[in-house]
Amino acid sequence: MSVWWNGGVANQDNLELIHAVRHRTKLLISFGDCAVTANVPGMRNMLGGTDSVLRRAYLELADTGQQFPHEPGIVPELLDRVLPVHEVVPVDIFMPGCPPSADRIKSTLEPLLRGELPLMVGREMIKFG
């Protein structure tokens, strides 16, 4: 079975899910710039950890009800850093793009449906953005 993972690994739920996905699949595709590099969600990595991010979002910028979200089992705990998928589990195919173009998706899927690995080479298959 092939699985496509979209987005960076940003919280405890993402972390648990990507480990389960990798354990249960033969082929894992890191789909889109956020999954491949952590991209925009990863920008929070420059802010010095989860405390400063949560403080800014829920205390400093709050109009009312200044409080940290904390509801175990409902609000997942943030990881210290947003990670690209390959820093957490092995990835078989990287498909950058924001989002990947329809042609890139088709060029990846068609060989997989034939039981072959796609050729992820050339600008049209590996460029970002």
Q: What is the pLDDT of residue 20?
A: 95
Q: What is the pLDDT of residue 124?
A: 79
Contacts of 93 (CB under 8 A, 6+ apart): 27, 28, 29, 30, 108, 117, 118, 120
Q: What is the pLDDT of residue 72?
A: 78
27-31 β-sheet, strand order: 2-6, 27-31, 93-95
Residue 14 DSSP label: H
Q: What is the pLDDT of residue 122?
A: 83
Distance, CA of 15 to CA of 17 (rounded, Å)? 5
Q: What is the pLDDT of residue 31?
A: 93
Distance, CA of 43 to CA of 2 (rounded, Å)? 29
Q: What is the pLDDT of residue 34?
A: 93
**Residue 2, token pair as written in the block:** 């092939």
Q: Strand 78-83 vs strand 27-31: parallel, antiparallel, or unpaired?
A: unpaired
Q: What is the pLDDT of residue 57?
A: 86
Q: What is the pLDDT of residue 6?
A: 75
Q: What is the pLDDT of residue 2?
A: 53
pLDDT in tens for each of the 129 residues of the chain?
Answer: 555 667 899 999 999 999 999 999 999 999 999 999 999 999 999 988 899 988 988 899 989 889 888 777 777 889 999 999 999 999 999 999 999 999 999 999 999 999 999 988 888 788 777
Judging by beta carbons within 10 Å of its beta carbon (0-12, 13-18, 19+), is residue 122 exposed, middle or buried? exposed
Rg (CA), the chain: 17
**Domains of the chain, with CATH numbers?**
2-46+80-126 (3.40.50.700)
